[in-house]
């Protein structure tokens, strides 16, 4: 497993990716765009997963109460993006088929933290998910879909996004003294993020500073692993429980995160490269739609015109623990 990660050429099943693990070209786009969140209708008894990076948030004035909040135009755009997605899904089904479509929206609920130490109470991924729910509700009303088919409308969740602990913000923020050491070396701007996203930064830090990074200092591989665990808990555990109760149900799971946690997953489990070897631009509000068929054992997505398999979403990692600390509360 470790050797395949270090090569940057194999996927995490140990087999070459399409086409042959080739590096990107004009015909082989890496950037995730808003248009890559394509409307997909789940098959009966199966699931569609949407992964979305938060919409654009306001970084203009750190003293403003709106610092870290979604930009107004981005909030509106997200509502329309969601409404379009669900309009396309519902319009492709009969009235009886629409009655079997259920939607669950999950999100990271971490507030914004900057390398400089500036913080905001705004939770950009969670606030994006709130707009996704708003668009979904509008579409459901338009197409006569029962509001109870939005699983967020349970008495526990009361219409709000469901937080996913495994999609928390970078854990290094829990150790501001260590972050201060990094900013002394790398500054608080682009170099900070460029260094943090590279392979082996923890080793390089240890060698140059003579101290071991603390537990909270995650490598890109560690981030991709916790995100994988969080997502498979949804696509396997949550989805299995749902489909046991709704054998013909068509489940759409929509998950909002941030670049820092979704990009390592995308690089590793979709593109099949080490998450620390390449910066991957993701448009704000961009992401993926992954269609899962558990009976056939397939999970597929498209980036541009290319199709990729995402088999990691088909089975639960043994690392996932059945505790409230690591799992979202779905019911």
**Which residue matches tokens 């750190």?**
62
CA 12 to chain centre: 18
Q: Give pLDDT tens digits along the chain (331 positions).
A: 222 322 233 232 322 233 333 344 434 688 999 999 999 999 999 999 999 999 999 999 999 999 999 999 999 999 999 999 999 999 999 999 999 999 999 999 999 999 888 999 999 999 999 999 999 999 999 999 999 999 999 878 889 999 999 999 988 898 999 899 889 888 988 888 888 888 778 888 888 888 888 888 888 899 999 999 999 999 999 999 999 999 999 999 999 999 999 999 999 999 998 888 767 889 999 999 999 998 888 999 999 999 999 999 998 766 554 444 444 555 4
Question: CA-CA distance, 30 to 273, in Å (whole number)?
Answer: 12
Note the Cα 194 to chain centre separation in Å. 20
Give the integer Cα–Cα distance in Å for 5 and 72: 40
Residue with tokens 């789940």: 42
Distances (CA, A) of 208 to 173, 185, 204, 309: 21, 10, 6, 39
Closest by Cα among 82, 87, 85 to 140: 87
Q: What does the chain come to in residues?
A: 331
pLDDT for residue 33: 96
Instruction: Give buried/exposed letters for 213-241 (b at 16+ CB in 10 A, else e).
Output: beeebbbbbebbbbbbbbbbbbbbbbbee
Q: What domains does the chain contain, in order, with CATH numbers?
A: 2-170+218-314 (3.40.50.1240)
* Global confidence as pTM: 0.87
Residue 277, pLDDT score: 76
**Cα 51 to chain centroid, rounded:** 4
Return the closest-CA partner of residue 160 out of 150, 173, 146.
Answer: 150
């Amino acid at each position: 497993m470790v050797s395949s990660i270090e090569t940057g050429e194999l996927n995490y099943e140990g087999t070459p990716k399409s086409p042959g693990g080739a590096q990107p070209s004009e015909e082989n786009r890496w950037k995730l765009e808003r248009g890559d969140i394509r409307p997909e209708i789940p098959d009966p008894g199966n699931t569609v997963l949407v992964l979305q990076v938060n919409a654009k948030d306001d970084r203009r004035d750190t003293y403003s109460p709106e610092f870290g909040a979604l930009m107004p135009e981005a909030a509106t755009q997200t509502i329309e993006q969601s409404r379009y997605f669900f309009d396309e899904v519902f319009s492709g089904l009969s009235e009886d088929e629409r009655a079997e479509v259920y939607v669950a929206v999950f999100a990271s609920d971490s507030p914004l933290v900057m390398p400089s130490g500036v913080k905001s109470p705004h939770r950009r991924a969670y606030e994006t998910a709130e707009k996704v729910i708003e668009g979904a509700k509008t579409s459901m009303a338009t197409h006569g879909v029962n509001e109870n088919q939005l699983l967020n409308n349970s008495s526990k969740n009361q219409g709000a996004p469901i937080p996913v602990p495994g999609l928390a913000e970078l854990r290094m923020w829990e150790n501001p003294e260590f972050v201060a050491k990094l900013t002394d070396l790398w500054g608080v701007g682009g170099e900070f993020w460029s260094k943090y996203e590279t392979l082996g930064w923890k080793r390089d830090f240890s060698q140059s500073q003579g101290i071991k990074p603390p537990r909270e200092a995650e490598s890109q591989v560690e981030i991709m692993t916790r995100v994988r665990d969080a997502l498979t808990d949804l696509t396997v555990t949550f989805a299995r429980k749902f489909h046991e109760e709704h054998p013909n149900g068509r489940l759409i799971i929509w998950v909002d995160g941030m670049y820092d946690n979704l990009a390592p997953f995308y690089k590793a489990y979709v593109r099949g490269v080490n998450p620390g070897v390449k910066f991957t631009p993701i448009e704000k509000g961009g992401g993926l739609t992954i269609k899962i068929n558990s009976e056939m054992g397939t999970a597929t997505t498209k980036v541009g015109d290319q199709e990729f398999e995402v088999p990691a979403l088909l089975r639960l990692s043994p690392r996932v623990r059945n505790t409230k600390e690591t799992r979202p509360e779905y019911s």
